[in-house]
Amino acid sequence: MEAISESRCFGGVQGVYKHASDACGCDMTFGLFLPAEAEDGPVPVLWYLSGLMCTHAEAMEKTGAQQWAAEQGIALVFPDTSPRGEGVADDPAYNLGSGAGFYVNATQAPWAQNYQMWDYVAEELPRLLVNNAAIDENRQAIMGHSMGGHGALTIAMAYPGRFTSVSALAPVSHPSTSDWAKKPIHAYLGEGNVDWTRHDACLSLRANGFNGPMLIDQGTADPFIDALMPEALAAAIIETRHQGTVRMQPGYDHSYFFISTFMEDHVAFHAEALYA
């Protein structure tokens, strides 16, 4: 971990770090907020997975999450959304390539060489942080927005017992039946080759469940709501009788104004589970 910057923040430290990623075959950058309690030992951690076109920086700088995490004594991790740099494949489409890794391990050319975002977020980066920062690997929670909501939900369900809780803001909920969401995932994994039970939150919940509480917020004025399909996730929660809550927020869109409005709720939700 090479420190790019470290700034005092709500009694703790907001850092930005770079490291050579074996999973992605390039340098990766991420944000890490450590509350004051981390000076005395490992603290619980909340992972925040960002959406399309974001880097680590947008959520770190726009959500106000550090204030609420500092009050709860929780660390925050803000990974990047894709590999980047010279020689890394890209595409002109906003939902494919740079900033749009969709938290999958690509198997198709030209993406397979670097776009191993599932392994990076679920395996490599957690190991790096547990070994190099005051992070308690036994107390982890995960959340995300949009594409990152898709990643948070599917990763949480694939690792039973790792995460105490999962939440999402306007997540891509049912990509196997959403033409908009299917296109980039097919590009990475190959049409006909996708394990949708692993990469579709609705199907994964039905197949694998999740041993913890779930919180979903969706704005009713979100221009992407038809592609996000919150009603499908609500139906899966009801069908599986999961301890999940889906809240439709009147008038809110897909922006960071929406995210920042409900960030305190989500951090408090995870803190309750992390300290249970």
Domain coordinates of the chain in residue numbers?
2-275
Q: Is residue 146 among the annotated active site residues?
A: yes
Compute the distance between CA of residue 201 and CA of residue 149 in angstroms, rounded to an integer. 9
Query: Per the confidence metrics, is the pTM higher than 0.75?
Result: yes
Average pLDDT over residues 25-49: 98
Q: Which of 82, 222, 266, 270 is catalytic?
A: 222
C-beta pairs of 188-197 under 8 Å, 24+ apart in sequence: 188/102, 188/104, 188/106, 188/107, 188/108, 188/111, 188/115, 189/104, 189/106, 189/107, 189/108, 190/107, 190/108, 193/107
Q: Which of 98, 146, 178, 204 is catalytic?
A: 146
The rounded percent of the chain whose pLDDT value lies above 90 is 99
Q: What is the CATH number of domain 2-275?
A: 3.40.50.1820
Band of the pLDDT at 253, cuts 50, 70, 90? very high
pLDDT of residue 263: 98
Q: Which of 150, 254, 266, 270 is catalytic?
A: 254
Q: CA-CA-CA-CA torsion for 44, 118, 149, 254, nearest 10 degrees? A: 120
Tokens of 162: 């790792």
pLDDT of residue 107: 98
Q: Is residue 222 among the annotated active site residues?
A: yes
pLDDT of residue 264: 98
- Kindly state the helix (H) or strand (E) to which residue 137 belongs, with its residue range: strand 135-145
Q: Is residue 91 among the annotated active site residues?
A: no
- Kindly state the helix (H) or strand (E) to which residue 267 belongs, with its residue range: helix 256-274
